[in-house]
Amino acid sequence: MATIRVGLAQLNVTVGDVDANAAAVLEALREGCELGCDLVVTPELALVGYPPEDLLLKDGFIEDAAVALGKLAAASPACLGVVGTALAAASGLVELAEPTDARGEALEGVGTAHRGSANAAALVGAGRLHGAVAKRQLPNYGVFDERRWFAPGTGPSFVYEVAGAAVGIAICEDVWIDGGPAAALAAAGASLIVVLNASPYSRGRLEDRRSMLKHRSAETGCAVAYVNLVGGQDELVFDGASFVLDAGGRLLAAAPQFEPTLLVCDLELPDATGAVSLAELSEPRPTRAPIAPPVIARQLDPIAEVYEALVVGTRDYLHKNGFENAVIALSGGIDSSLVSVIAVDALGPECVLGVSMPSRYSSEHSRTDAFELAQRLGMRCVSAPIESAHAALSSVLDGVLGGVPAGLTDENLQSRIRGVVLMGISNETGAIVLTTGNKSELATGYSTLYGDTAGGFAVIKDVVKTLVYELCRHRNERAIARNEPPPIPESIITKPPSAELRPNQVDADSLPAYELLDPVLIAYVEGDKTAGELIADGNDEALVERVVGLVDAAEYKRRQMPPGVRITAKSFGKDRRLPITNRYGAPWRP
């Protein structure tokens, strides 16, 4: 039997910051070697960041990645590193399928970076580049567009001898296919499959990964070492949670969620026979320092997991885009309270400014709640009453319309005044405006363009209203468990939700109760059910028609909203791309 020590480098990298990413990879390789690792594996495309999107269509970007890889290889320590990167077919390191048109005929003159590049795992160590393996299965669903950017790998399935063990290399989607590349690696003699991943977080995704890889381990008879990215990239959050399974599918080691780390694990594997040799790197070490027993990090509970994703996604979006401070409209309501707590946990209270902007309709308890929340969080809160602006703009519209605006026009006017105030503060201070709309509101159009939707980042745009309440209770319970005062006043959680844009207004005046609304929204938006299917499932017909009509009519609004953290398998954005002009299944629309 061979003993191989594997290090899984769970990294937080930034798309396009190739030199900084290379430095982080090199540091992980060196740390792994110091700990006696024979093999250190990074996540998918760690060198260029994931997803690089149409940067991959720039020949210069691929060339810069190749230069960085060459420098990394030259500086690499003695152990074998498997580094995720993008490689051009012209490099000679990868074999790719020829680009073809819809009829399967070869395309002439296709640029290097346009379907002539690979999502690859490069093998480095002992100061040189040894080769590369190209991803074969290219996902093209949800947030993935890899067939736009890459050509699939071809050629034989190579298995490498490392420390006397036979190791196969796969990249993310390659292991999700029954009888696919992983099975081919096992047939070629692999006893360990290392998998490089950039698998975005969504609720329940970790259980899916572990279940699938236990199945893959059973299919192949191989141990599996799975390494994943961590951190935020635009709307995506990567949760890490790297892990190692033995050949029987038993969990041997697991890294924490959402935290950069190096997970190290020793594996006992059959001796390699007939593998492609990397002799200068793969000799078993006669002696090395023992390591602590493998760590199996505690998995966060479902609500804590969502909360941490929101914090990490917010922190990385701001910091990676050069923002140090945030400004939030503090209404004293549940949504702005949750966004404020997330922002403080992500950035620190000194970096978050709350602005209370009462109108003639704002209740005294809402103003009090807003300042109480800010005090508990240790963040600054200022008051900017909008009554004078409201009166002035109403007068302007009166001159145009021949009457003082009322109803929805007046409600939206207040919201837009608040948006102007926040954006003015943003312009003057450089702080980014965090919007406070939740998924239930954005889905149904219960939001004001250029008002409460105005801002740079929508923290809870993928969080339905009922989940907002669960997250607030979770954050308070977490504080109590730490003997800290709960940050969100109970009065904010218990009062009926209201935009307070007219006397005695509550959300239920305009929307179904959230307990009824959210399940229908989830089934329609995330489950892609039609109205007819929802009714056939037993939902009230009037409720379904009302909700579906609201969602479809608000598509044009959502196209104009800022990005926000994705925590479900189908958020508004790249996951869900529907036409604005659309009459399908909606006879009640005009």
pLDDT-derived band at 96 (thresholds 50, 70, 90) equals confident
pLDDT-derived band at 113 (thresholds 50, 70, 90) equals very low
> Taking the mean position of all CA atoms in its chain, how far away is CA 139?
16
Fold that domain 2-97+110-286 belongs to in CATH:
Nitrilase/N-carbamoyl-D-aminoacid amidohydrolase (3.60.110)
Asked if residue 499 has pLDDT above 90, the reply is no
Asked if residue 588 has pLDDT above 80, the reply is no
Asked if residue 112 has pLDDT above 50, the reply is no
Give the mean pLDDT of 405-413. 89
Residue 389: what pLDDT?
94
Asked if residue 129 has pLDDT above 50, the reply is yes
Q: Do domains 2-97+110-286 and 303-507 have the same CATH topology?
A: no
Considering only residues 185 and 273, tell me which one the structure prediction assigns the higher pLDDT: 185
- Per the CB < 8 A criterion, the answer to whether 266 and 3 are in contact is yes
Taking residue 283's Cβ as centre, other Cβ atoms within 10 Å add up to 13
44 is catalytic: yes
Residue 518: what pLDDT?
94
Where exactly are the structural domains of the chain?
2-97+110-286, 303-507
Asked if residue 252 has pLDDT above 90, the reply is yes
Residue 402: what pLDDT?
87
Instruction: Tell me what the pLDDT averaged over the chain comes to.
Output: 90
Q: Cα-Cα-Cα-Cα dihedral of 528, 531, 535, 536, to 10°?
A: -60
Considering only residues 103 and 327, tell me which one the structure prediction assigns the higher pLDDT: 327
Residue of 544, 558, 545, 553 lying closest to 583 (CA atoms) = 553
155-159, 190-194, 317-321, 348-352: least confidently modelled range: 155-159
Give the mean pLDDT of 461-469. 96
Residue 590: what pLDDT?
47
Q: What percent of the chain has pLDDT over 70?
A: 94
Residue 377: what pLDDT?
96
Give the mean pLDDT of 154-176. 90
Asked if residue 68 has pLDDT above 50, the reply is yes
15-24, 136-145, 475-484, 519-528: least confidently modelled range: 136-145
Asked if residue 85 has pLDDT above 60, the reply is yes
Asked if residue 232 has pLDDT above 50, the reply is yes
Give the mean pLDDT of 117-135. 92
Asked if residue 585 has pLDDT above 80, the reply is no
Catalytic residue among 79, 172, 265, 381: 172
79 is catalytic: no
pLDDT-derived band at 106 (thresholds 50, 70, 90) equals low
Give the mean pLDDT of 101-123. 64
Catalytic residue among 33, 37, 79, 135: 135
Residue of 366, 345, 359, 333 lying closest to 438 (CA atoms) = 333
570 is catalytic: no
Indicate left, alpha or beta for 80 from its phi (over 0: left) and psi (-120 to 50: alpha). beta
Asked if residue 173 has pLDDT above 50, the reply is yes
Q: What whole-number distance in Å separates Cα of residue 380 and Cα of residue 458?
A: 21
Residue 133: what pLDDT?
92
CATH for 303-507 is 3.40.50.620
Give the mean pLDDT of 191-211. 94
Catalytic residue among 44, 308, 500, 526: 44
40-54, 245-259, 299-313, 403-417: least confidently modelled range: 403-417
Task: Give the DSSP per-residue string, 388-435.
Answer: HHHHHHHHHHHHHHSS---HHHHHHHHHHHHHHHHHHHHHHH-PEEEE
